[in-house]
Structure 1
Amino acid sequence: MTMNLTCRSTSLASRRQQGYGRLLILLVAATLSHISGARQVLRWSEEFKPGCKTTDKFCINGGINLHKFGFDLGDGTSYGPSLIGWGNWQRQCHTNASSNVRVEPFPNNPTDGMLVIQAGYEPSGYTCFNENAPPSTTNYTSARLITRNKATFKWKGAPGNSTPVRIDVRLKVPLVNGTWASAWMLPETNKTWCMACGPYGDGWCLGGEIDIMEHINSNDYLISNVHHGGLPNASWVGCKQTVAVYKNKPKMSDWNVLSMIWDSTYIRFLANGKEYNKITLGKWSTGGSSSPYAPFDVPFYLIFDLAIGGLYPGYKIDNAKVAAGEARFNIDYIRVYDIVP
């Protein structure tokens, strides 16, 4: 918002506008003061400590905690034939095999670990298992880790008078053409047959989507995004998005901390502690409700995945680098905080 502080009109309308401007300044100052005096209280986290006890059936692939995470498997058709390629023509089959998803120790610190989601290339073809749907054949494998029905997140309190939640993810993306690494969120639902169902409708994008981070190919930038809109009888019609770009050319191959701060009245995105995008109340909506807070007023679950191909990265896939194991999406930790006064 741009405020014209040079206006000297003495009209009633102008005086009202100036009054609103002063009120806005005071509100912004109060908000900044409130945030600067706030503290972060850890609500939930995963540090991906390496190692599993042989007796622990809830720990797999070197340290993935099944109390906290599950998997989306297959090519998307488990959620319906229209979702082949996960709705946007991705080429991979998601598995829970250790070759595609595991916890590894850091090379110089064996007591600390990282989640590795690694794509694979199968030139002779890979038979993809799809629950409640026929198998398919693809040349690529990868993984999608989810907290659905295990851990969900949202701001606390009442709409308009809430305590923000902050989600930090320390990650390292692959710089390989054809890859699409994401840390994102969808609304929680107990409808196991539906991937994008929620309280405001069964289908994307009525329930909304929050993209903490997306990266494609060998780009020198990351993006954040929110999706919303849709019509009650046609959830995909009228979908809107708000995209912002974080450029980090010299260090894109390094570790970065991507953050999202979510309140009932705003969603902020940060990279390495620096805000680069903010979406405020009134900038989002859903065809499933007339509430100005919807659809971002219900619990969402976390998703971490590495796709190969798709409408966003395209199909110029570097098969040699995928086959060589360079298509790795690494996550050091996920930490969720309540920001309290």
Structure 2
Amino acid sequence: MKWSDEFNTLALDQSKWVLEQGGGGWGNNELQNYTSSPDNAFINSSGNLVIKAIKQQLGSNAYTSARLITKGKQNFQYGRIDVRAKIPKGKGVWPAIWMLGADIDQNNWPKCGEIDIMELRGSRPMELISTMHYANSTGAYEYIGTTEKLTVDLSADFHTYSVVRSKNMTRFYLDGSAEPYYTFTGTSANPFPFNNPFFLILNVAVGATSTATRTARLPSPSKWKSITFAISSTSKKSQRRGQPLGVGNEPGMTRLPGNFPLARVGVVLSCGFLSAATPGNRNAYAIQPFAG
């Protein structure tokens, strides 16, 4: 076990997490103001972390939410991250599980690199977005990725989203499939940032312009009362089915007993995305990564 947080304390463990704060659009014309308020991020009686976006004026922003990062606390390099999640429907909600290069303060975005494990446009719950962001040799921003058009509504049930990082390669999987739905090697990324340590980010944004789609996503307030984002522990539905994703022998990886990679992160997560006047529906994030 390299790092874990089972959220079995009364408050968020600030030795593991940083609550980033602020509005200003976050480079995407986002409408929320991230806070450190326990209204937006808290641990509930079930031992889960809840991230909740609320229709609530704060400064020039009409909404509040939370953004949790492991920057300065824990970085992840080669290995596997698994997230079992139930995705919400609803125009304007933008949940994301993603990573940024740990050297972002020395090498500004996009040079530091960004790995979007899962992004979802709430109005399109049958589309899974995974994207890599980086700088080319001239320093210009580039991105490449995939929008997987599925035959299932991701909001209808839990699904497992996985990324495997090995030397010079990043692969993305859905529901423990034997083959990745997307593989990135990124020869145009120069210098290549994706062999470096990255930190983890969990957040729910509101509205915004998606980099991956270049389309504005404005919220539909009348629909918010039933929108939630839930991620359940991967241990509830074991990934130990045969050879897990075929990893363990690649350059930069260490083979572990049972063919498990050096680093795997299982996450329990859900976010209520509710009107400020709506009580209850406090669901949860909970992180339980593990490694050799």
Give me the TM-score of the superposition, normalised by structure 1: 0.62
Is the aligned partner of 1:221 residue 2:101? no
Is the aligned partner of 1:329 residue 2:288? no
Q: Which runs of 5+ in 2 are unaligned?
A: 232-267, 269-285
Aligned residue number for residue 181 of structure 2: 277
CA distance in 2, matches of 1:270, 1:231: 29
Equivalent residues of 1:116, 1:330 under 8 A apart: no
Is the aligned partner of 1:301 residue 2:199? yes
Equivalent residues of 1:69, 1:147 under 8 A apart: yes
Aligned residue number for residue 82 of structure 2: 168
Match of 1:209 among 114, 119, 135: 114
CA distance in 1, matches of 2:184, 2:146: 13
Amino acid at match of 2:165: W
Indicate the structure with greater helix content: 1
Gap change, CA 1:280 and 1:184, over 3 Å in 2: closer
CA RMSD of aligned residues (A): 2.3
Gap change, CA 1:103 and 1:256, over 3 Å in 2: farther
Match of 2:2 among 43, 49, 52: 43
CA distance in 1, matches of 2:7, 2:127: 26
Shift of 1:151: 0.5
Equivalent residues of 2:91, 2:122 under 8 A apart: yes
CA distance in 2, matches of 1:99, 1:238: 36
Equivalent residues of 1:167, 1:337 under 8 A apart: no
Is the aligned partner of 1:249 residue 2:152? yes
Match of 1:184 among 94, 98, 102: 98
Is the aligned partner of 1:138 residue 2:42? no
CA distance in 2, matches of 1:154, 1:336: 13
Aligned residue number for residue 246 of structure 2: none
Amino acid at match of 1:70: V
Amino acid at match of 1:277: Y
Aligned residue number for residue 154 of structure 1: 77
CA distance in 1, matches of 2:149, 2:291: 24
Match of 2:222 among 281, 298, 320: 320
Gap change, CA 1:211 and 1:246, over 3 Å in 2: farther
Is the aligned partner of 1:259 residue 2:159? no
Amino acid at match of 2:134: H
Gap change, CA 1:172 and 1:310, over 3 Å in 2: same
Among all aligned residue pairs of Structure 1 and Structure 2, give the percentage whose two residues are the same amino acid: 31
Aligned residue number for residue 49 of structure 2: 115
Shift of 1:44: 2.2
Larger Rg: 1
Look up the SS of the partner of 2:73 in the other structure: coil
